[in-house]
């Protein structure tokens, strides 16, 4: 036990004292924040280009005017969706399009509009012929197939314009039509433990971000264990260490030491995130609805530790079997596959945390560090499911430690050739820890 503690201390201090640890710990939250904030800022900034110029062509002026007004109203309707940001959006709002109405729907006019697109005089036109109106069909032409005009925006505008025209012909006044199409504001309320709290898209992003942080942490520190084993093996430091300790003590100390480094780093990141979040909460009151319960935070620590122990144990075995880092990278693909599969299943799990597939996949030990945590964060499952998942995870970790310790005992002293499967089976059979 004393030797294990010494190895834990050595692994921990050797890593936290490095310049790379300090730089990564301080810079990574800033890089992550920039990766999230900068695209949002760019998306909301004025691009500097002129306002797109469109032409709505139809022989029915009333319908053309309705399409024009609906397209111009797109930004306003989006701003009204959020009361907290509506005022700011309206204040900074600028016309999204310049839209002209053209009642000449002849072929000559269509050719003229094509030439204007080619010369840059206009950016595109919406063609509503008489036959198209009868068939509820429109044509949008522009110089760029992936341009500024979102197809969904145009489709919504056309659907509403056609509907308003039909209602008007049936005697419904414009005021009544506007009232019929007035958007319904929907508040999402989350009920947990008999208490209601307002839910938002920000909560979904926060949960998804926490799960991805868990994924990256487990993967990053597992790879660190593998590289540490390979480094000590290739520099023959391993032979010196084994002269005063057992392979099991060495592997256990390495796992615990690197895991402690991971906990330290994430504690610092969470403290920094909490500190930086305070100004955002003051500036945007709607973000105050986003919070993590003590259960969610506690589960994060538990599933990080167990997920790290599960995968880093395998990584330690991979490092012991490999002779070079290139060989280790080839073997680690097999280790990473379950984690990648769990990430792909996150969407369905978050949308339906109580579905049968969510329940059984979150019980599978190689998926549970991510999927069971996601279920706890979204909607805590029954305690027996959490307990069963933890029991299966702990049992799998115990079995893997026993198996990988045998591989570790023999593999760390093997050089020159990567063992094949029959040789590994012999190690598992004859090595005694």
| Per-residue pLDDT reduced to its tens digit, 395-420 | 998 888 888 777 777 766 666 666 66
DSSP of 395-433: HHHHHHHHHHHHHHHHHTT--SS---HHHHHHHHHH---
Stronger pLDDT, 11 or 281, i.e. the higher one: 11
All domains of the chain in start order, with CATH:
51-186 (3.40.190), 200-430 (no CATH)
Evaluate if residue 164 carries a pLDDT over 60.
yes
10 Å Cβ neighbour count for 87?
A: 10
CB atoms within 10 A of CB 149: 19
CB atoms under 10 Å from CB of 346, counted, come to 17
Q: Tokens 């026993």 identify what position?
A: 402
Name the residue with higher pLDDT: 150 or 213: 213
Q: What is the pLDDT of residues 190-239, one digit of tens each?
A: 666 555 555 555 566 667 777 887 788 888 888 888 887 777 777 767 66
Confidence category of residue 36, pLDDT binned at 50, 70, 90 = low
Question: In angstroms, rounded to a whole number, what is the distance separating the alpha carbons of residues 322 and 319?
Answer: 5
Q: DSSP assignment of 57-106, as one string?
A: EES-HHHHHHHHHHHHTHHHHHHTT-HHHHHHHHHH---S-EEEEE---S
pLDDT given for residue 329 in this prediction: 76
The per-residue pLDDT for range 282-293, each reduced to its tens digit, is 444 444 555 567
> Is the confidence at residue 86, as pLDDT, over 50?
no
* Mean of pLDDT values over 138-147: 74
Q: Which two tokens stand for residue 128?
A: 């509503």
Residue 214 tokens read as 């868990």
- For the ranges 146-150, 151-155, 159-163, 180-184, the lowest mean pLDDT is seen at 146-150
* Residue range 225-272, pLDDT digits in tens: 888 777 777 776 766 666 777 777 777 787 888 888 888 877 887 777
- List pLDDT tens digits, range 360-376: 999 999 999 888 988 88
Q: Measured between alpha carbons, how far is 258 from 267 in angstroms, rounded to an integer?
A: 14
Tell me the pLDDT of the chain averaged across its residues: 76
């Amino acid at each position: 036990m004393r030797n294990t503690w010494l190895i834990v201390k050595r692994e921990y201090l050797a890593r936290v004292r490095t310049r790379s640890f300090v730089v990564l710990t301080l810079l990574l939250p800033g890089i992550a924040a920039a990766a999230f904030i900068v695209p949002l800022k760019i998306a909301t900034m004025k691009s500097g280009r002129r306002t797109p110029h469109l032409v709505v062509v139809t022989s029915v002026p009333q319908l053309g005017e309705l399409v024009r007004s609906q397209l111009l109203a797109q930004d306003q309707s989006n701003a009204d969706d959020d009361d907290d940001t509506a005022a700011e959006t309206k204040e900074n709002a600028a016309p999204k399009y310049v839209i002209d109405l053209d009642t000449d729907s002849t072929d000559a006019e269509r050719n003229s509009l094509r030439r204007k697109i080619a010369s840059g005089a206009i950016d595109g036109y919406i063609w509503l012929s008489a036959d198209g109106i009868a068939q509820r069909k429109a044509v949008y032409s522009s110089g760029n197939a992936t341009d500024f005009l979102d197809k969904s925006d145009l489709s919504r505008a056309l659907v509403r314009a056609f509907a308003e025209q039909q209602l008007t012909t049936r005697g419904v006044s414009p005021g009544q039509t506007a009232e019929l199409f007035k958007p319904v504001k929907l508040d999402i309320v989350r009920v947990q433990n008999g208490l209601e709290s307002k839910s938002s898209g920000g909560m979904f992003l926060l949960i998804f971000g926490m799960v991805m942080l868990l994924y990256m942490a487990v993967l990053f520190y597992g790879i660190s264990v593998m590289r540490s084993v390979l480094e000590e093996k290739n520099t023959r430091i391993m032979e010196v260490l084994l002269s005063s300790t057992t392979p099991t003590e060495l592997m256990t100390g390495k796992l615990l030491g690197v895991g402690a480094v991971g906990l330290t780093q994430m504690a610092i990141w969470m403290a920094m995130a909490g500190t930086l979040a305070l100004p955002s909460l003051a500036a945007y009151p709607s973000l105050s609805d986003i919070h993590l319960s003590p259960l969610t935070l506690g589960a994060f620590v538990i599933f990080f530790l167990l997920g790290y122990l599960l995968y880093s144990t395998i990584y330690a075995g991979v490092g012991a079997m490999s002779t070079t880092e290139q060989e280790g990278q080839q073997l680690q693909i097999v280790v990473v596959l379950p984690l990648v599969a769990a990430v792909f299943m996150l969407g369905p799990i978050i949308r339906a945390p109580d579905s049968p597939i969510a329940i059984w996949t979150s019980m599978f030990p190689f998926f549970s560090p991510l999927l069971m945590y996601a279920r706890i964060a979204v909607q805590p499952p029954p305690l027996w499911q959490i307990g069963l998942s933890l029991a299966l995870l702990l049992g799998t970790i115990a079995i893997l430690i026993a198996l990988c310790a045998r591989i570790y005992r023999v593999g760390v002293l093997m050089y020159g050739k990567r063992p094949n499967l029959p040789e590994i089976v012999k190690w598992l059979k004859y090595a005694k820890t």
